[in-house]
Chains A and B, each alone.
Chain A
Amino acid sequence: MHFEYKVEGGDFTLAGYASSQIKKTLKQLGADPAVIKRVVVALYEAEVNIVAHAYRGVIYADIQPGGITLRLVDEGPGIPDVEMAMTKGFSTASPQVREMGFGAGMGLPNISENADSFSIETEINKGTTLTIGINFK
C-alpha cells in the first residue's frame, strides 16, 4: 500500500494529520500496537520538523507485509550540520515552534530511537529527505 501526504511549512493546525491517517490505517491492518506507536511517534516528529523548518514537503508511506518505509522529502533550508542536529538538546527552532511544545532538540534523536533504519540526506538551500524504516516484527 502506498500513501502520499502534502505538508505545508508553518501550518501547525494540520501538523500531525498524515501521522494520524497512517495510525488509523495500521490499526485497521491489525499491526502490533507497540509497533504502531513507534511508527506514529517517529512520523509525527518528522512531520512536525517539516512544518517547523521547511517551506513544504511530501510524506511517502509504503506499507508492506514486513514493515513500513516512510520517506519525508522537504523543500527547505537543509541541515548544515547533521551530527549536531542529531545531538539531544540541540535545536534551531523558532519561538513559535517552541510555543507549540516542540523545538527542544529531541525530535531527530527520538525518530532514530523508534526506527529500525534511519537516514538523512540534506542539501543546503534545497531541502532534506528523511527515510525511516520500521519492521512489523
Chain B
Amino acid sequence: MLLSEICGIVNGTVVSGESRLSQKAEYAFASDLMSDVLTLKVDHFILITGLANVQSVRTAEMSDAPYLLLCRGKEVSEEMLKLAIENNILIIKSPFSMFKCAGLLYSAGIKPVY
C-alpha cells in the first residue's frame, strides 16, 4: 500500500520525508519498546509507536524501517526532526491512538510482522 494512502487512513500529517509518500509498505510493527523493534529480521516496515524521542528515530534508522508513524499527536522535537531529515525517514503524525492506527492499517491490508 502506498504511504500516501496510509497517511490518509490514519488522518496523518507528514512531518518529514515527504518524498517517501509514493513508496509502498507491506508490513507494520507497533511497539514502544525499541529493543523489541531491533529484534525484527524484516526491513522497510512501518514502525507504529507512541514513543516520541530521538531513540525512536534512531531505531527506525538502525532497523532499515524508513517509515515512522507517531500516534496520539505526539510532538516531534527538533532533534528528532533533524535526525529524520538526515536519514530520509518519513514521519507521519496521527491524532489516533496506537491501537486505532494499528487496527485501521491491519483492516486496510497492512500485514503484521508476526
Contact = CB atoms under 8 A, between A and B. Distances in A.
B56 to A, nearest CB: 6
A interface SS class: helix
Interface residues of B, number: 23
Interface in B70-100: 79, 87
B7 interface: no
A44 B39 CA distance: 12
Contacts of A37: 43, 62-64
Contacts of A101: 32-35, 37, 49, 51, 53, 55-56, 59
B20 interface: no
A110 B32 CA distance: 17
A45 B64 CA distance: 15
Size bracket of the A interface = 20 to 34
Contacts of B37: 101
A102 B38 CA distance: 10
Interface stretch (A15-23, A61-69, A117-125): A15-23
B54 interface: yes
12 contacts: A13-B79, A15-B58, A37-B43, A37-B62, A40-B62, A41-B38, A41-B62, A44-B62, A48-B55, A106-B33, A106-B35, A106-B39
Given A41-B63, A104-B35, 19 more contacts: A12-B54, A16-B55, A19-B58, A20-B61, A37-B63, A44-B58, A44-B59, A45-B35, A100-B34, A100-B51, A100-B53, A101-B37, A101-B49, A101-B59, A102-B35, A103-B35, A104-B33, A107-B35, A110-B38
Interface of A: 12-13, 15-16, 19-20, 23, 33, 37, 40-41, 44-45, 48, 99-104, 106-107, 110, 113
